[in-house]
Structure 1
Amino acid sequence: MSHDAHLLTLAGTFMLVLVTQGLWFAYVLGVRAQRRRRKVWHCWRLVSFSLGCGLLVVAFSPPMVEWGHSDLRGHMAQHLLLGMFAPIALMLGAPGTLLLRSVPVTTARRITDFAATVPVRCLSHPVTALLLDIGALYLLYLTPLFQLSFSEPSLHIWLHLHFVLAGYLFSWSIAGPDPAPHRPGMRLRLLVLFAAIAAHAVLGKLMYAYGFPRDAGLELAEIEAAARLMYYGGDLAELILALVFFAGWYRRRKLSESASEWQTANRRS
């Protein structure tokens, strides 16, 4: 990457840092508004969203950007933060629920009506989210797109943004805490999660075995180390997502059992 292109990339990532800080500030204002209205908003959701924003800031920081440009291992660490760990933490903060609680009722209804439209439902389907997330990784590392992204700063920034959004969309489609009446059932979501785990692992093995990305002037040892980082780091992130998925299932099951017991007790009385 040329010096000018590198400076443009740094400027673009700085703008993404500002956007991240703006989102965090808006989230905090929303939480404060909930507390002023005496509405419950769990502290752990604020902590989780703050952690997600913090991971994004770390991934966009100049040292991480420098490492990502000079070493494929740094690039892979960036990918794991932007596309996997940060989105999971952000998703657990339930920003969608907070938004609906914070805006006027008429605005909230418009948002929910828009979310129920066919295009949005198709976009947020777990299979679509899988293709946008993991599919984009295959496109990046198995084609010349990787090398092109280092010569085109705007493409580089857009790829960062894409992986954050796609990672969030995938995490939310699998285990999001926000209300989603049209979300597919648990079996399909679990199947898609297993497919994502397998696809991510296969990509790591392809990189390790065949030296992808090719024609990028990278040492084989560097590619192998980055592939290992993708393989094991991806497994860790997907394990966390699976735990969140099953924790949500267990919580809903207990709530359903409690509601059934309460209804039975009322009928008997």
Structure 2
Amino acid sequence: MHNEPIYHGNGNAYELNLFIPFVLLLIVYMFASFRSNRHYKRWPLYRTICWVLGILCIAATVAGPLANRAHMDFTAHMLGHLLLGMAAPLLIVLSAPMTLVMRKLHVKRARQLSKILKSYPIRILSDPMFASLFNLGGLWILYTTDLYSAMHHNIVLYFFIHLHVFLAGYMYTAAVISIDPTPHRTNFIYRAIVLFLSFASHGILSKYIYAHPPLGVTKTQAEMGSTLMYYGGDVIDIVLIYILCWQWYKSKKPMAWGRLSCRGGL
């Protein structure tokens, strides 16, 4: 593995600067939720907690002990992958940032944003199958080519790969569980099928890494990291399954009660 993080030369001041955008994101979200409470129904506390935890997951992967260790330890890198590409997107989606934005925007601006969300490009990006291919396809390229080794020697490449991992994970999670209002929401059967295929692809990739370590990764490190990827991914997958099934149940419940009422039930 690589002996030194690519940004170590700048010292602690550089790492502190990396945390500034995340602190600003925390402040902006809390301020927006506080202001929205004056005009709308009180913003749920659990959504704010999800936002805070999601931002902390992202911050931990780009600065601090875990980020530094990830350059030398594939297991630490894989923990960062789980936080950045799976846990953080799930938490950010659950915080419903787009809903909060729409609550704070002026009516005219909200309509303009709504028009953009209804556009054809957004329809493609928010399709679960496309989002899944964008998400998992990037991971397959990262770990089955020389890209993993190359990113540790190029700060720009390192940044864009991490940005892709989060954005792809967020797009995929949002497409599957759809917490924020979306004009292109697909049916539950389609999302469930994509979810199942994605789980399978993620599991196969972890097994591939176990048998074929990326360039610069020892066999022992690959086995430990891929095992963490496999079982850690399963934990987050279970949460996704639960949320999707709960949403599916809620969508059918009113219909079931309606049929029961028509038949002389409760």
Query: 1:8, CA displacement in angstroms?
Result: 7.2
Deviations 1:42-84 (A, max 9, x none): 1111111111112222222320111100100011000000000
1:212 corresponding residue in structure 2: 213
Output the CA distance in 2 between the equivalents of 1:153 and 1:249: 43
The answer for unaligned runs of 5 or more in structure 1 is 265-269
Residues 126/149 of structure 1: CA separation in 2 closer, same or farther (3 Å cut): same
Deviations 1:10-53 (A, max 9, x none): 88876653333222222111110121224232111111111111
Query: Which of 114, 122, 136 is the aligned partner of 2:138?
Result: 136
Is 2:176 the counterpart of 1:174? yes
Identical amino acids, percent of aligned pairs: 31
Output the CA distance in 2 between the equivalents of 1:222 and 1:79: 15
**Cα-Cα RMSD:** 2.3
1:230 corresponding residue in structure 2: 229
Residues 17/131 of structure 1: CA separation in 2 closer, same or farther (3 Å cut): farther
2:101 corresponding residue in structure 1: 99
Output the CA distance in 2 between the equivalents of 1:113 and 1:15: 36
1:153 corresponding residue in structure 2: 155
Residues 120/15 of structure 1: CA separation in 2 closer, same or farther (3 Å cut): farther
Aligned length: 259
Is 2:58 the counterpart of 1:56? yes
Query: Which of 192, 195, 209 is the aligned partner of 1:193?
Result: 195
Query: Quick check: 2:131–2:171 contact (8 Å CA) kept in 1?
Result: yes
Residues 128/33 of structure 1: CA separation in 2 closer, same or farther (3 Å cut): same
Query: Quick check: 1:2–1:151 contact (8 Å CA) kept in 2?
Result: no
TM-score by length of 1: 0.89
1:6 corresponding residue in structure 2: 7
Residues 220/26 of structure 1: CA separation in 2 closer, same or farther (3 Å cut): same
Query: Quick check: 1:9–1:154 contact (8 Å CA) kept in 2?
Result: no
The answer for unaligned runs of 5 or more in structure 2 is none
Which protein has the bigger helix share?
1
Output the CA distance in 1 between the equivalents of 2:117 and 2:15: 29
1:267 corresponding residue in structure 2: none
Residues 47/254 of structure 1: CA separation in 2 closer, same or farther (3 Å cut): farther
Query: 1:3, CA displacement in angstroms?
Result: 5.8
